[in-house]
Structure 1
Amino acid sequence: MKRQTKQNWSIRRAPGAVGTFLLARIKALLRFLQLGKKSGALLSMAVATAIYTWFYQWEFALGVTIMVLVHELGHVVAARQKGIPVTAPFFIPFLGALIMLKRNPRDAETEAYVAMGGPLLGTIGAFVSFLIGLVSGHAMFYAIAYIGFTLNLINLLPIHPLDGGRIASTVTRWLWVAGAAGGLFVVIYLRSYLFFFLWLLFVWDLFSKYVMYRGRTADYSVWGKIEVPYEEIPGEDWMLKPFRENVELPYRAYSDMEGKLWVEIEWEEAGAVKPVKMLEQGLIRSVTGLKVERRWRQSPKMVVLRYQIDYEPHENENYYKVPNAVRWKFGLGYGALAIALFVMLDLVQNLMASEGGFFQSLRK
């Protein structure tokens, strides 16, 4: 390994210093504009664009960010059409972006509808970029369209948590098997450790659900902690008594209006009650207090209880029951969109080849 000179080190460090400066200014601007919950989305979008700009010219970087934004807005529009509230898109550089549903879909058809919205609107956005390049003669728009078509095609792979995996649940769950097999070839082609990790999780989930635990349900666990300040603990002699560990705690489970499962844990010895929002619906098996810690060196002084919630995920037997007409509708739409993306990718690649290739197109 070659030793870097101080001059080279300073040059490499400059982007980090500039990025830190820009982040501080952007945060101050967002606070000034009082953008509230949208500030995180705008900030992450600005950061993603800035990082892309470090590797490519700013016009291309902005175009890629817009392609990702259009894809996510497709999910937002589809979710709102189904009456499901969602979060603003959050951008993750080189990974895309994500939105979170604030309420679970009531059935596989609704889930597929929301999933289809992203690739559909994203493909339209990429096609608009392609048309702009065709009319204006600027090859850079071909490169932006290429990224857009590629992004949406990859998302159509029938692998959870990609959009294609959610659409496949409405068409036929056998597509998941095809996704498990085809996903390995995509991993080899992309040489992406992250995609390999997603593929591995998907394959393990299929194996555990349909092979390891077929015909029976698997129990899951979540962990957390309850923190109680010293002054809020009832009784004057509690310091002289040890808190019990590895014991079951009383709890109350309920669902809110948005269909989220909550577990209200009661730690009687410390006089504390903590509500915990679960990631999914399920049957609570037990809540156990594992270990108690006395943090008397910090301020304020705290007593901390580590707990474990064991539960069995709830599987709605009617969730995947979809009318045949709906299966055909999503199947034909899914296939037609995939074919259209393949055709457009081939066309854009040929146009970029005539311009000298992808990177040469960025300079035009």
Structure 2
Amino acid sequence: ENGELQLTNDIAVSGHFTNSGTLDTNGSGITFDGAKTQNLVLNTFTSFDALTVYTGTTLVEAVTDDNAYIQGTLTNFGTIRKTQPVSGLEFYYFGLAGFYPDSWGVEIEVTDRSGGDPLTAIQVDRIDANHPNAPGGATTDIYWTITPAGANYVATVVLPQNALADPVACRYASGAWNCARSSFDSVKDLTVTRTGVTAFSDWAVFNTIATTTTLATSANPAPVFTQVTFTATVAPATATGSVEFFADGASLGTATLAAGKAQVATGGLTVGTHVITATLIPTGPYLASSGTLAGDQVIDKAATTVALLSNLNPAPYSQAVTVTASVAVSGMTAAERQTGPTGQVRFSDESGALAT
């Protein structure tokens, strides 16, 4: 409409909506319920007291200018979309798709477009729901699907957040969350900022989640040369990432976390007492943590058996006899032994030592 429209009650819009004049909602709400794509063309600044998007509806804010303002409540059961053409290195804003109460909203600063396929547009889809693949224990009220036109770009992404204590900006791709931040403000602007972004997909803001890591061993004490398995248990069990294990500060290896557990086995620990630690290297919104094996790992000397074989038995008086000693590690197969026993064998008879 090009003139002036004053609402006296709530209205429902099932088609497109254009405002080129003056809209006074007078406290009334506008609902977009067409269950399809509906264009919202705001050619002039427009303030809404209450705006609702119904399930199945995609409301497309079709003007690049940031002309929409919500002074009351925005309720979104569908999708709100805005696309901004990118022609230079500057800040881009996304209207209703980026709106968040008391916050600056979604803001993307393009800092580099060099390359053979430069960024030419950014589409932001807003979905007011927890992400269907949100990390366990993490929730958000909104996520955004950000789609670029062009592959060569570097950007700074600013996302709104609800005064979280420790927010991170997280991108979901290939079945995993990548979370980081450069800065955040949970007092005034209510935003979290992430610089150096080179890929867009689904984005959300999560509060970080603390973790604990504990360690257990398969045998303690354990004989030298035997395999000992160390198990790290991380809580909450929904945490993602990998765990690196250490013996006296030296790495024993890294294992992927699965259902809150990771394991590494080693047969190379020497006789003595060893300090065993494990450190969670997290992905997603989870925080790193470390644990130490209680009581340390004790490695005992291995038990041995000695078998003797004479080359001549019985033997004539004064005949030289060769006696061979075979030393084995008791109770262990050849596969379990990484090295054979070392040392000396002392031979003796009833009269005393014969040789060493």
Do these two structures clear the TM 0.5 threshold for a shared fold by scoring above it? no
Higher helix share: 1
Determine which structure has more spread, i.e. the larger CA radius of gyration: 2
Indicate the TM-score class for this superposition, using the shorter chain for normalisation. Answer: under 0.3
Q: TM-score when scaled to structure 1? A: 0.22
User: Whose RCO is larger (CA < 8 A, sep 6+)?
Assistant: 1
